[in-house]
Structure 1
Amino acid sequence: MSKPRYDWWSYVKGMIRRYPELRRRYGALREGRLTADYSGMPRGGGDGRAVEGLAIRELPSTSQREYEAVRRAVETTEHYRNGQERLKVIELVLWKKTHNLQGAALQIPCHVDTAKVWHGDFIRLVASYYGLMDE
């Protein structure tokens, strides 16, 4: 008998697929002008509170939680003995969307069953960090 599919499975896969875009948006929020304005004009020529403005910018709360869950799962997976291979499967299947699990397994190389296990483990890890897993 196969394992039951969780109701949130497709939501978490979508969360993982959105991660590259969220990472790009998060990086763009953190960019900013951090130098003082030396124009000599009152109130300068731009934002006089650039540092404070930079510190308070963030993604919407749901996007922020999704980003953090996937980021933490990536960091955790990197520390596994075969973490780079696991992340390569995720990259090819969910981020670049250039391979299916069988093709990603050939690319790594690993057995397709191993790629399926790694894929499922990563999805469950993200779900756990997002708070969807009851443990």
Structure 2
Amino acid sequence: MSVEHVKLTKTARDQLITLKRRTGITQWNVLCRWALCRSLAEPAPPPQAKLVLDSNVEMTWRVFAGPLGDELWALVRWRCHVDGVDLDEESMANQFRLHLHRGIGYLVGDSRVRDLGGLASLVG
């Protein structure tokens, strides 16, 4: 796996600050896992974008994924396969970053996510 460090854009950091305030979840990694899963659940692939990873939010893959590292990476790999993306490490790492950032945007833009209960309602 080629993602050893997870870094975010300033926009994503600001969106996560909003999500932390709304949900009461204080850990970046927990919100980022929600965001990744939210994006992976979307049928369309994320749009290609040049991400400028310029924020001060950075974490290791181990911190990001917690005990779900293998499972989350397998989901990214599966999604790359479904979307016809090359399964080389660089392409998969890029798709991971695109999904993560898209998912953060989805969560902050979802009117249901006004509190922790709203976030939990996305599961059903």
Shorter-chain TM-score bucket reads under 0.3
Q: Which has the larger radius of gyration?
A: 1
* TM norm structure 1: 0.23
1 or 2, which has the higher strand percentage?
2
